[in-house]
Amino acid sequence: MDTEPEHGCLEELLGAYGIATDFINYAGETVSLAWENRLRVLDLLDVDVSSKEAAEASLLHINSQRFSSWVPKALVIEAEQPAQIPVHLDTADLSIPVDWVIETDEGKQFGGVTTPLDLTETNTHTLATRSISTRMLPLPELPPGYHRLTLSSIKQHIQTTLISAPSTAYTPDWLEHNRKLAGLSVQVYTLPSEHDWGMGDFSDLQDTVVSAADLGIDFLVLNPLHLLDVDHPENCSPYSPMDRRFLNPLYIDPFQVEDYFDNKALVAWVATDGVQSELVELRSKTQVDYTAVTRLKYDVFNRMFDFFKTRHLAQATPRAVAFYRYIDGKGESGQFFANDQASKNRLTLEYAKDPQFHFYLQWLAEIQLEACQQLALRHGMAVGLIRDLAVASSCNSAEVQLNPELFCTRASIGAPPDPLAPQGQNWGLPPMKPTVLVDTGYAHFITLLQNNMAHCGALRIDHIMALMRLWWCPGPGDSSTGAYVRYPVADLFAILRLESLRQKCVVIGEDLGVVPPEIRERMAHSSILSNALFYFEKYDGVVFKQPEHFTPRCLAMVANHDVPTLTAWWNKTDIALRQKIGLLNDEGALEATIHGRESDLIQVLHWVNNAGLLPQEWLEFNIHRPFDELLCRAIFHTSGRMASQLVSVQIEDLCFTELPVNIPGTSDEYPNWRRKLPLPVDALLAGIEARRMLASLTEGRGQA
């Protein structure tokens, strides 16, 4: 007869799957996670604990998986240091000699033979029919990289990957020598121009690079450039993508591709009155019409690919060779992706069902993105592009559907309750299963980093706390009954450092909100920059932090995509907008919000005045005076003095835009991720006001 599972067995299971017992909340208090919430995560993972017998079988299963092989699929060690790795052996085989051979990724070999009985034992574990002894195998110092270890005896032959990680991430000269750099935060799709296709693209980004570099800007912080859903173009949030490993083809500018400008039939078609009228209409819209842009650009892409097949693939030109080399470089995961895109695509185009068509778009996108980064470096930018890696992809995404064992689609990532979200947050994005992440040798995580560290000088990792823990919600509609699930943080940080070094890419961790102290310690020890947002940088929740007290190894942003523009924040039009769309219906909450904001405005004037930069026109401390260029320049100048090595301002604040790109917590209430800038970026950055404001920022950087 079945009986209730024993508490000890359940605790072992919860620990094996990384389900935490408690956490430290926003107020610094330790909060115990409800027992039923923790068990619910086991249910989400399809772990059977319906009875004592079922729970014991589940525990035996997870432990058997852990010890099913001498070594896991990958092991992380510290580079340039003598290492020891755990090897799990059957106690009956401890006297059998084991040969070991290491082949580094540069082709060097190390080897030896050992008798497990002579090695240090660190643990024993009893399974159903056998006993396991964990012994520590010494290894020589190895350079950073991915090295192959082979273990052989008369009974077994096993291979694993040694991930040899440096102690710190990539540290270029500008970081090492504490240079103070100024940057712009840019949402690429918002950049209008006379030559765009209805939204900003990589040519518009190139224009931004050239104009910004000439004004002393050393980096551009970009929105995530991940692939979005071509079948549902209005699902346009870059933080809820279809696949974080691949780029959004809508950022391709066809005008810059020879399959367009050498294609006389296509050039003639685009020149027709009908297409030109559509382009004029799309360019004139104040918001991106993703459906229309997608329809037009994919029609053009289809015609370009037809030309490419005839002119290059059929004739095996050098360009065709480069294309096939690109496909080979994407490996098995790339082929799965292209096949999936072709099989599921609902576009009624000739080549929509051809996997090569989807490779072609990725190839073009990468070429143009790389051109942006190289242009930035040629124009003297110290960093160039800073890309952004979203925390997850949507549940029906290619990334998730092609990795069904890795992602838990029954759960959603979110955040526990806090004063701003009393019911908690549910982001509707499926988390990775930590046990499967380990069992697959971290392959997906490595691919994510490699693809997103390409063609940039730095990578910002959204919600870097995800490398340590994630709040799992039971399904898309529930956020209050979740629990934290732990991830192999030491290994993930080690891989992050290794890929940073290999790709020569600085890492910035978005550590806003409730951050476990361990995360910031690991970031500091790994030379990973933190991320600060001016609006929230206060000593006591009231007084803004003095510029010299900002964290040095940090990207400090005056504002970002989740908060109001500086103009809207000062004029309080963001509050009016939130009230208009129903987010501030309660009169008391509205009054409290206005009161809190006006307190902030007074403090900002004191903050600027303490720096000796408050304009004469603002000395009356009139917080009801409309925001203007004089105050903006003073805020930028003061921000430039921040001790942080990277300080960025939003490009929207150079033209006093008030409408936000995004209002967190909304979907239908506000058209997020659509609003364009009011004028072309080359005209904006050529304007005297924008130039004066950026001059104030760079002058402050020189005084930091």
Give one DSSP letter per residue of 15-46, joined into a string.
HHTTB-SEEE-TTS-EEEPPHHHHHHHHHHTT
Are 164 and 496 in contact, with CB atoms under 8 Å apart? no
Q: Which CATH architecture has domain 80-165?
A: Sandwich (2.60)
Per residue, what are the HEC states of 571-608? HCHHHHHHHHCCCCCCHHHHHHHHHHHHHHHHHHHHHH
- Report the distance separating Cα 385 and Cα 377, nearest Å: 9
pTM metric for this prediction: 0.96
Are 401 and 243 in contact, with CB atoms under 8 Å apart? no
- Report the distance separating Cα 414 and Cα 391, nearest Å: 11
Closest by CA to 372, choosing from 549, 247, 278, 466, is 247
Q: Is 588 exposed, middle or buried (0-12, 13-18, 19+ CB in 10 A)?
A: exposed
| pLDDT recorded at residue 128 | 76
Read off the pLDDT of residues 379-427 as tens digits, 9 standing for 90 and up: 999 999 999 999 999 998 889 989 999 999 999 999 888 776 777 889 9
Read off the pLDDT of residues 593-629 as tens digits, 9 standing for 90 and up: 999 999 999 999 999 999 999 999 999 999 999 999 9
Positions in the chain whose pLDDT score sits under 70: 1-2, 420, 477
Sequence spans of domains, the chain: 80-165, 189-376
- Report the distance separating Cα 452 and Cα 435, nearest Å: 24
Closest by CA to 480, choosing from 111, 72, 33, 29, is 33
- Report the distance separating Cα 323 and Cα 334, nearest Å: 13
- Report the distance separating Cα 108 and Cα 104, nearest Å: 5
- Report the distance separating Cα 637 and Cα 631, nearest Å: 10
Across-strand partners of 389? 461
Closest by CA to 228, choosing from 205, 255, 259, 250, is 250
Conformational region of residue 414, where left means phi above 0, alpha means psi within -120 to 50, and beta covers everything else: beta
CATH code: domain 189-376 is: 3.20.20.80
| pLDDT recorded at residue 2 | 64
